[in-house]
Structure 1
Amino acid sequence: MYRSILAAALCVALVAGATRAHAADDANGVIAKAVADASRPPTDTVRDANRKPAPALAFAGVKPGDKVADYGTGAGYFTRLFSAIVGANGHVYASVPSGLLQYPNIVKGIAEVQQFAFAHANVSVTYAAPIDAARYPEPLDLFWISQNYHDLPDDFMGPVDMAAFNRAVYTALKPGGVYVVLDHVAAKGSPTNVTDTLHRIEPATVRREVEAAGFKFDSESKLLANPDDPHTKGPFDASIQGHTDQFILKFRKPG
C-alpha cells in the first residue's frame, strides 16, 4: 500500500510539474509574439538587441491576465510589451513618479505612452509623488522597475525614503507576487552618490533594501551582464551607451 501511495504522489508531482512547464511555454510563446509584433514602433524595436526583451520578460514570469506595474514607464517600451502580453484580462499601470516630469525627453515619452493608453483599454497612466506612484487600485502580480531604481534616492526625486518605497511595493503585490529590479551595475564599494554621478547602483544595495521590506530573493539573471564594462562611466556616455553591465534581480512576496 505504501508503494501505491508513493506512486500516486509521484504521479501527481509529475503532472503538476508538466502543467507548470506547459503554462510557462504558453506564456513564453505569448511574450515572443508580443516582441515580434510588426506594429511595434521602430523606436522600440531598434532597442531590442540591447534590451533582450523576450528572455528578460520570461525571467520575470509575466503572463496573460497579470496585473502589472511598469514603474517609471519612460517612453513606454515595456508598457507596450506588457499590454500585449497580459491581454484583455490583465492590466498595466504605467507609473510616472513626479520627479521625472522635469525632463523634457521624459515628458515627450510619457505623452506617447498616454496616446498608447487611449487606444488600449488595459493600460492606465498614473502620475504621483514617487511613493504614491507605487500604490494601485488592485493587487499586482508583477512590479517592474527598469533602470530607475537608482534614481529614487537622488535629490531630484525627493529623495525617496527607500524603506518606505519598498514597503509600498510589498503592499501593492499579491502574496506570491514578483518584484523585478533591472538596473546599471555600480562597482563594488562605490560611494552612495554613484546613483547620481554615474546613474548606477550596486546589486547588493538593492538586495539589502528590498529584502529589508520582507521580500524573499528569488533569482538573478545575467542576461544583460557585460564584464567588459569598466563601471567608470554613466549609461549616457557614447562609449558604453546601450552596453552597460546590468543586473536583473527577482524577488517574491511570501504567501
Structure 2
Amino acid sequence: MFQSLRYSAAALLCGLSLAAHAAADVPALKSAIDSSERPAALKARDPYRHPLQTLEFFGIAPNMHVVEIWPGLTGYTDILAPYLREHGEYIAALPASEKGLAAYKQKLADSADLDKVTISTFAPPAKTEVAPPGSADAVLTFRNVHNWISGGYDQAAFNAFYTALKPGGTLGVVEHRAKPGSTLETMKKSGYVNEDYVIALAENAGFKLVARSKINDNPKDDKDHPAGVWTLPPTLKLGDQDRDKYLAIGESDRMTLKFVKPKGADH
C-alpha cells in the first residue's frame, strides 16, 4: 500500500508521539515557504492560507512523521516535504486516481526538494490505512472534509486518522466553515461545513479537541454564494460574473482545529 521514494526506515518506529511537546522550527518553516522552488501560484494564496501560522499552530516540528491527506498539486507538499526532509518524514495520502498519481509524481520529479516523499493511498471506504497503525506524529487535512461528507465516509476518514496516529499525536483540520445550524444537505451543496459537525466526527473517533485558532478566519465571507464555496477564489466558478466582488472577499472563511489522540490510547 505504501510507495516510498527513498523511504526513511525511521518511519516504522512506534513510540510516544512527539506532537504533544514538539514545537515548530519557525525559521526553517519560513525558509521552506519562501523557497524559490515553491510555485508562485501557491505563494500567491498564502495571504488566505497562512501556512506559517497554521503549521506553527499545529506544532509541526522538523523531526516529525507527518501525513497530509489528499494534498494534490496545491496542498502543502512544497512546504512540508523540504521542511521534514532531513529529520522527519512527509507522507502524501492520495486518492486512487492513476491520472492524479502520475501528475503528483511528476511534481515530485520536477523538484530536488521533493525527493524523499512517501506516497500512500487514501480511498475510502476501500483503502483507509494512510500510514502504519500508530506510526504518525501528525495527520493534517486542508479543506477536504466536505468531500468526505458528500461521499458518505466522513466518519470512516476520521477513524482512519485516529488509527494512523501515535498516542499523543495531532490531527490538524482546516475546513470551510458553514453558518451555524446548516443542514447536511446544505453542507453537501455549498462545501461549507458546521464546525460542531467536524468536532463531533473527531470526538466520535476518539480525539480530544485541544485548541481552535482564528488564523484562517475571513469575516468578509458571508457563505451565501450562488455556487457555494466554489464561487470564491481560487475556483471562481461563475467566471467573470461579479468576479471583482468575489476577489475582494478572497478565499473562504475557515475553521482551524487541533485535536489530539489521548496518550493512553491503544494503536
User: TM > 0.5 between the two?
Assistant: yes
SS at match of 1:236: helix
Runs ≥4 residues deviating over 6 A: none
Matched, 1:91 2:89: yes
Q: Deviations over 1:124-161 (max 9, x none)?
A: 2333422524431361111011000111021xx3x21x
- Asked whether the 8 Å contact 2:73–2:107 carries over to 1, the reply is no
Structure 1: give runs of 5+ residues left out of the alignment: 1-19
- Residue 132 (structure 2) aligns with: 137
Deviation readout 1:76-114 (Å, 9 max, x if unpaired): 43012111111223211111234xx49xxxx56x54431
CA contact (8 A) 1:66 1:142 kept: yes
- Alignment partner for residue 185 of structure 1, among 157, 172, 177? 177
Contact 1:71 1:134 in 2 (8 A): no
Structure 1 or 2: larger helix share?
A: 1
* Counterparts in 2 of 1:31 and 1:61: CA distance versus 1, 3 Å: same
Aligned pairs (5 A) from 1:1-255:
24=23, 27-98=25-96, 101=97, 107=99, 111-118=102-109, 119=112, 120-131=114-125, 132-137=127-132, 139-154=135-150, 157=151, 159-160=152-153, 162-233=154-225, 234-237=228-231, 238=236, 239-240=245-246, 242-255=250-263
Q: Which structure is richer in relative contact order (CA contacts within 8 A, separation 6 or more)?
A: 2
Q: Any idea what SS the aligned residue of 2:52 has?
A: helix
User: Size of the alignment, in residue pairs?
Assistant: 223
Q: Please tell me whether Structure 1 or Structure 2 has the larger radius of gyration of its CA atoms.
A: 1
Query: What TM-score do the two structures reach when normalised by structure 1?
Result: 0.79
Give structure 2 stretches of 5+ with no counterpart.
1-19, 237-244
Relative to 1, partners in 2 of residues 1:70 and 1:144: Cα closer, same or farther, differing over 3 Å?
Answer: same
Task: State the identity as a percent.
Answer: 28
Q: 1:29-83, CA deviations, whole angstroms, 9 ceiling, x for partnerless residues?
A: 1111111111211121111122111111111111112111110112143012111
Pick closer, same or farther for the CA change 1:163–1:77 going to 2, 3 Å: closer
Q: CA 1:251–1:45 in 2, change beyond 3 Å: closer, same or farther?
A: same
TM-score computed with the length of structure 2 as normaliser: 0.76
